[in-house]
Amino acid sequence: SQQGEEDPQALSIQEGENATMNCSYKTSINNLQWYRQNSGRGLVHLILIRSNEREKHSGRLRVTLDTSKKSSSLLITASRAADTASYFCATDARSGGSNYKLTFGKGTLLTVNP
């Protein structure tokens, strides 16, 4: 079952602009994560935000989490052509016992034009 849903499905911007992607989810979570996937490759973990955190930064990335609205956003500042990729949010919820599994959204395809 899909938990996170990214919005928009696709985003095209110019180099130097900021890119914002949103993620909504339905059930309680332990944490929410963002991943990046370059075309035809595996996913790379970008950042993790716990359910008791509201904002987190990592380099040019800023993630916010609003558990009351069950939503998160990923902001990439001063984008570069190399940021072109698909971005996925993944929600981490208890699957049983102490084991957690991630449920991924369908992703946002970001294109950064030089």
Partner 1 sequence: DVKVTQSSRYLVKRTGEKVFLECVQDMDHENMFWYRQDPGLGLRLIYFSYDVKMKEKGDIPEGYSVSREKKERFSLILESASTNQTSMYLCASRELGAQYFGPGTRLLVL
- Which stretches of the chain bind partner 1, using CB under 8 A? 1-2, 31, 33, 35, 40-45, 48, 88, 90, 92, 95-96, 99-107
**Least distance (Å) from partner 1 to the CB of residue 60?**
19
Could you give the CA distance from residue 79 to residue 84 in angstroms, rounded to a whole number?
Answer: 9
Q: Provide, rounded to whole angstroms, the least separation between the CB of residue 97 and partner 1.
A: 8
**Least distance to partner 1 from the beta carbon of 42, Å?**
4
Q: How far is CA 85 from the centre of its chain?
A: 12
* Nearest residue (CB) to partner 1, 32 versus 112: 32
- The C-alpha angle 95, 24, 19, rounded to 5 degrees, equals 125
Distance set, CA 23 to CA 14, 80, 113 (Å) = 22, 22, 23
Tell me whether the omega of the peptide bond preceding residue 8 falls within 30 degrees of 0, making it cis: yes
> Considering beta carbons, is residue 45 or 80 the nearer one to partner 1?
45
Nearer residue to partner 1 within complex by CB, 42 or 114: 42
